[in-house]
Amino acid sequence: MALKIAQLGQPVLREMAAEVSPELITNPATQSFIDEMIEMMRGAKGVGLAAPQVFTSKRIFIADVLPAERGNERGRTEVFINPKLSELSAEKESGWEGCLSFLELSVFVPRHKSLRVDYLDREGKPKALKLAGFPARVVQHEYDHLDGILTIDRATTTKNIIKNSEADDAIEY
């Protein structure tokens, strides 16, 4: 089964995703789906991908947020199933974010600087991570997809949504 990335306007991107039954996590179909998501994310050169983005309204996302094995590599991929966010820092930081569901746009989004995420990994084992900076931003972005929230919803003004081809002229620092 070849996955396709849902684009802005697809109803699945606005739905509240359903919890995944823990018994189904180790099911071969679920494991194959996770593998396909990882392949899709890497092929698209993304750092995260949520199941709703591939037309599956389930509370699963993947993100390259684990420490790299070598200093110059991107983060390693983790699978987050039925995640819950907590310990959100009061302090926020705004930054530009892209999204595989609307590649032509970048959005300037405020996010919590740090957080804790509790989740089940791809083997169904309970895990928790405390993240800060870019990894925390990625997790919040992907978590939003599970609740039907897009970065354009988080922009504090429409001036913070730009077309990438116009970015050089539009971005003010």
**Residues tagged active-site:** 142
CB-CB contact of 131 with 139 (8 Å): yes
What secondary structure, in 3-state letters, does 50-110 show? EHHHHCCCECEEEEEEECCCCCCCCCEEEEEEEEEEECCCCCEEEEEECCCCCCCEEEEEE
The C-alpha atoms of residue 49 and residue 51 are separated, in whole angstroms, by: 7
Please give the distance of CA 41 from its chain centroid, rounded to a whole number: 10
**Surface-to-core class of residue 13, CB atoms within 10 Å of its CB (0-12 exposed, 13-18 middle, 19+ buried):** buried
